[in-house]
Amino acid sequence: MKKTASHNLKNKKGFGLIEIVLALGIISLAFFTLIRTAQIAFKIIGESSVNSRAQFLITEGFEVVRSLRDESWQKNINTVVQGTIYYPSFSTSTNKWALITENPGLIDDRFERIITFEDVYRKKSDLNIVASTSPDEKSIDPGTKKITVTATWFSNRQTNTVKSASTYLTNLFEN
């Protein structure tokens, strides 16, 4: 019996070593999985942050155009040229926004924001907005413009564009 007990003791020692190696393998796999999960999470958080900042710039672009409309439709909105790219520019000396055609450079060294205007056509029969290519009898509505704001951001590897947002702006105050 002693021989059997000694034989069992040797097997237990060897089995313990296998358990340790297996446990280290499982712990290593879990550790590397956690590291990879953290990397993916940080990437998603970074992309979400940039996307949120770009969406803010789009919203701010709409507010710029609304403030210019409120100041003077005739001076600020009626003079824009359809299809021209405009950049909002804030003057700290006058504390006012303006639309300029020369690119002022990147915002926060990463973002570019552009604003474009389109004429709005209305069907003569019911005054509903229609596309310029509509076969219906139509005319340009001088008191309404379609505004599109696009924010683009630049990263090390590629250019990402936030989907542009569009809205209609009317000469609300008839000024």
The predicted-structure confidence for 44-64, as pLDDT tens digits, reads as follows: 998 888 889 999 999 999 999
Q: Assess contact for 147 and 168: CB atoms under 8 A.
A: yes
**Contact present, 60 and 53 (Cβ < 8 Å):** no
Give the mean pLDDT of 32-38.
Answer: 96
Question: How much is the pLDDT for 8?
Answer: 56
Question: Which residues are 91's β-sheet partners?
Answer: 96
Chain mean pLDDT for the chain? 90
- pLDDT given at position 4: 56
Q: What is the pLDDT of residue 107?
A: 94
- The tens digit of pLDDT for each residue in 86-114 reads 999 999 999 999 999 999 999 998 999 99
* DSSP per-residue codes, 99-127: EESS----BTTTEEEEEEEEEEEEETTT-
For the chain, the domains span 2-170
- Dihedral, 30, 31, 35, 41 alpha carbons, nearest 10: 40
pLDDT in tens, 119-171: 999 999 999 999 999 999 999 999 999 999 999 998 776 777 778 999 999 99
Asked if the model's pLDDT at residue 41 lies above 80, the reply is yes
Position 12 scores a pLDDT of: 58
Q: In this prediction, what percent of the chain has a pLDDT beyond 90?
A: 76
Q: What angle do CA 136, 81, 63 make, to 5 degrees?
A: 95
